Structure 1
């Protein structure tokens, strides 16, 4: 249930209503940030989805948990008329549903590569214990051995977008409506 007043004729798209009527410049900037994450990330699609899904689980965002980048990102984040526009979906094979199911119990699951595990752990700790993450030298040694500095920055900003925007969607009650079928201009908020 939306935590702001949304007219009955806009109940199917509470985010779109809020984006058009409240804090428009801020919501517009957040949508651009979200779109940049899906259009510009250089992470493999599996690493990206591993971190994104763990963040969605922590945030509790229903839309984010149901979202699958391979299936949904092209409809939400593609730019009409620009066939050269890259999406994270171009960055390797898509995970299957067993992959998504295993993320919650990632420590015991056998389906993840070392980098995918690190991406999940990074996202989890970024979302739950950022102060401890910032000073965990053992973890950072593992990250530096597996990821380039550019990849670490990429993962950090992607995770920041998911943590912040996923929490906004969940806290304001915007996460009960499927965004994948919404127009790209209204749906860029994962």
Structure 2
């Protein structure tokens, strides 16, 4: 049950109802930030989904852990006024369920490329141990060996959006009710 009173609404997104009701300007900015991550990120779809899903597992957000790129991302982007002609959806096939099941064991799973592992590791460290990266030159050498500076900033901002907004949704229990998948929501 949400931790705030929400007005009756036909909207499937409780977070959108909360944002537009109680913090319309900040909520619109947060929503625009989130949309741009999905619409414009430089990451491949698998890199994005590995980092996003690891963040979802850390945050405990039910909406985020049940979201799947192949089923949900295009509809989410389209319903929010974005374009799917560029960005992660144009960079590789959507991950399958085995991919999502393996994210928690990213260190040992053979399903991930080195770039995917680094994206998942960055998400995990930002979400659980952000101070651990300050003096870890080995980590920074690895990330720079596989990603450009633009990709590193892009990935870090993307992960920050998932950490922050996922925690808002989970903290306010806007994810604690049964809702349709993004693909099923009208």
TM-score scaled by length of structure 2 = 0.89
Structure 1: gaps of 5 or more residues: 184-190
Alignment of 1:1-190 (within 5 A): 1-7=1-7, 13-78=13-78, 85-176=85-176, 177-178=179-180, 180=182, 181-182=184-185
**Cα distance, 1:37–1:9 mapped onto 2, change above 3 Å:** closer
> What displacement does 1:74 show?
0.8
Q: Secondary structure at the match of 1:78?
A: helix
The 2-side partners of 1:173 and 1:81 are apart by: 26
Name the stretch that deviates more: 4-13 or 63-72: 4-13
Structure 2: gaps of 5 or more residues: none
**Cα distance, 1:101–1:128 mapped onto 2, change above 3 Å:** same
> What displacement does 1:87 show?
4.0
The 2-side partners of 1:94 and 1:85 are apart by: 15
Q: Secondary structure at the match of 1:135?
A: coil
Q: Could you give the per-residue CA deviations for residues 91-136 of structure 1, whole angstroms, max 9, x where no partner exists? A: 1121111010000111121111111111110000011111112321
> What displacement does 1:73 show?
1.1
**Cα distance, 1:151–1:81 mapped onto 2, change above 3 Å:** closer
Alignment RMSD (CA, Å):
2.2
**Cα distance, 1:79–1:130 mapped onto 2, change above 3 Å:** same
The 2-side partners of 1:168 and 1:81 are apart by: 22
> What displacement does 1:75 show?
0.6
**Cα distance, 1:38–1:129 mapped onto 2, change above 3 Å:** same
Q: Secondary structure at the match of 2:56?
A: helix
